[in-house]
Amino acid sequence: MAIFKGAGVAIATPFNEDHSVNYDEFEKLIEMQIANGTDAIIVCGTTGEAATMTEKEHMEVVKFCIEKVNHRVPVIAGTGSNCTQTAIELSIEAQEYGADGVLCVTPYYNKATQQGLIAHFTAIANSISIPVIMYNVPSRTGCNILPETAVYLAKNVKNIVGIKDATGNIAQTTEMMHLADGCLDLYSGNDDQIIPLIALGGVGVISVLSNVAPRQTHDICQKALEGDFESARNLQFKALPLIKALFCEVNPIPVKKALTYVGIEAGPLRLPLTEISKEHEEVLKKAMEEYGLIK
């Protein structure tokens, strides 16, 4: 049984002008998500700027999210690190706070071998009893979980249950799902590939788009999961210009600006990320207007 099916939001973390976490706006964003049909909340991932949080701050945000959601939807904590021991410690703490699962990115910079990835994910999963979703995003980490590795882990480690696939490599994903034969829950890590990955047997998306369009992203997934691919395809096509605009600069730069247009004061980004350029801000605003999110 999947931790969730449908659209899980890779939720942004609002900051105050002094770059501290803006918990009032974060709670507002959480409530907006739940009110608009988000199927799960993934906290402290890439979009949540976990890379520039201290470990203490990271886990305070996770704890806050779990408490505010209060079991209304699953909360999955981003606990990945390029240090296996750090990932273990974060995962144990997330479980203690009541997380429904953890999302662990492949070790970045280290460039682990496939054997190293097996050892890394196995060690994390064996340290906790809640489900683990692996996160494969080679463009950011320089490390790729090959199909055979992902399937080996799913078949041999009982609580490794899923993978967020942001490879953009449909051939690799197809091979992985063929080898998995149903043992691995697949989530699209790219908002422009929700339909293709669900067609391959996926169960949903971990989404940036959901931050500003939670109901619409949920509906794309729901239609596809119901087998109504024509309706799902039309909804996916309609969202493509906005999805493109949300990635006109590196995530989460555009989505934090986009949130301000829908009433969430997401605040500044932490260095080394910088504010969106004026040129791209106009592109983003126009896409949101055309999608009907702002007037």
pLDDT in single tens digits along all 295 residues of the chain: 689 999 999 999 999 999 999 999 999 999 999 999 999 999 999 999 999 999 999 999 999 999 999 999 999 999 999 999 999 999 999 999 999 999 999 999 999 999 999 999 999 999 999 999 999 999 999 999 999 999 999 999 999 999 999 999 999 999 999 999 999 999 999 999 999 999 999 999 999 999 999 999 999 999 999 999 999 999 999 999 999 999 999 999 999 999 999 999 999 999 999 999 999 999 999 999 999 999 7
Number of domains in the chain: 1
User: Which residue, 283, 258, 284, 285, is CA-closest to 269?
Assistant: 258
Q: The pTM is what? A: 0.96
The answer to whether 194 and 173 have CB atoms below 8 angstroms apart is no
Domain containing 181 equals: 8-228
| pLDDT for the residue numbered 254 | 98
135 is catalytic: yes
97 is catalytic: no
Cβ within 8 Å of residue 234, ≥6 positions away: none
| pLDDT for the residue numbered 295 | 74
List Cα–Cα distances, 180 to 23, 99, 150, 173, 177, in angstroms: 40, 26, 8, 10, 5
Of 63, 164, 223, 257, the active-site residue reads 164
Q: Is the dihedral of CA 20, 256, 50, 155 positive or negative?
A: positive
184 within a domain of the structure (yes/no):
yes
3-state secondary structure 141-201: HCCCCCHHHHHHHHHHCCCEEEEEECCCCHHHHHHHHHHHCCCCEEEECCHHHHHHHHHCC
Cβ within 8 Å of residue 33, ≥6 positions away: 9, 11, 41, 210, 211, 214
The answer to whether 41 and 74 have CB atoms below 8 angstroms apart is yes
User: Counting runs of H as helices and runs of E as strands, what totals does the chain give?
Assistant: 12, 8
252 within a domain of the structure (yes/no):
no
Q: Which long-range contacts (CB under 8 A, 24 or more apart) does 252-258 make?
A: 252/12, 252/46, 252/47, 252/48, 252/49, 252/208, 254/280, 254/284, 255/12, 255/47, 255/208, 255/211, 255/212, 256/12, 257/281, 257/284, 258/211, 258/212, 258/284, 258/288
Residue 190 CA, chain-centre distance (Å), reads: 9
The answer to whether 147 and 176 have CB atoms below 8 angstroms apart is yes
271 within a domain of the structure (yes/no):
no
6 DSSP β-pair partners: 204
254 within a domain of the structure (yes/no):
no
168 within a domain of the structure (yes/no):
yes
d(CA 66, CA 64): 6
221 within a domain of the structure (yes/no):
yes
Which CATH number is 153's domain given? 3.20.20.70
d(CA 182, CA 154): 10
241 within a domain of the structure (yes/no):
no
109 within a domain of the structure (yes/no):
yes
| pLDDT for the residue numbered 197 | 98
Of 5, 135, 152, 257, the active-site residue reads 135
